[in-house]
């Protein structure tokens, strides 16, 4: 079984763009926009109706950062892996800005899934999750990347495995360990 035509097309456009072909970027955006918008919508699905961050704004900000990124694009999975990191950074920056505006409030126990939802009441949660992910990365970079790619990037287990050059079973196993580690870290933050 070969590479699906859409993946091959995206990979070619990414490589052409990396080689300096600006027309490739113009052709690429309509192809990946829907996927990026879906990822952004997934990250923002629990937003309050009056919240300032919208999926389109998130995608536009990610687009601006992607265009400025000095990256030698390898393929579609690599593109979405980098996009996941950029989306995470935007969400964390937004949450930190919200937290600065809404100081106060008591700590409460959050789950990894709750921390993935960006809403005014969860700004602290996304900041706590980011800090926990940074600590995880300092101890085990691959586990952090797995969480980032699956949760923020919307990649499948197979795509995550391909990006990290490991087996899907390794992704499953390390995700379980990462979730347990993050749960402990986030729980300790509440009890201290």
Residue 74: closest CA among 171, 138, 163, 147: 163
Instruction: Output the pLDDT for position 5.
Output: 61
Print the domain residue range for 48.
5-191
- Averages of pLDDT over each 10 residues, the chain, 192 residues: 66 88 87 82 59 75 84 84 83 74 47 46 70 91 89 83 92 93 81 50
Domain count, the chain: 1
Q: d(Cα 33, Cα 55) in Å, to the nearest integer?
A: 11
- pTM listed for this prediction: 0.64
């Amino acid at each position: 079984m070969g590479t699906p035509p859409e993946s091959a097309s995206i990979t070619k456009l990414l490589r052409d763009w990396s080689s300096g072909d600006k027309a490739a970027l113009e052709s690429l955006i309509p192809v990946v926009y829907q996927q990026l918008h879906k990822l952004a919508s997934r990250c923002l699905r629990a937003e309050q109706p009056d919240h300032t961050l919208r999926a389109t704004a998130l995608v536009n900000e990610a687009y601006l950062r992607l265009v400025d990124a000095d990256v030698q694009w390898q393929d579609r999975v690599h593109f979405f892996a980098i996009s996941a990191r950029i989306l995470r950074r935007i969400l964390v920056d937004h949450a930190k800005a919200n937290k600065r505006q809404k100081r106060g409030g008591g700590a409460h126990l959050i789950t990894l899934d709750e921390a993935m939802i960006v809403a005014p009441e969860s700004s602290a949660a996304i900041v706590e999750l980011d800090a926990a992910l940074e600590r995880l990365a300092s101890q085990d970079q691959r586990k952090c990347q797995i969480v980032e790619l699956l949760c923020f990037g919307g990649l499948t287990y197979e795509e995550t495995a391909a990006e990290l050059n490991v087996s899907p079973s390794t992704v499953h196993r390390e995700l379980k360990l990462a979730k347990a580690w993050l749960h402990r870290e986030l729980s300790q933050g509440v009890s201290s």
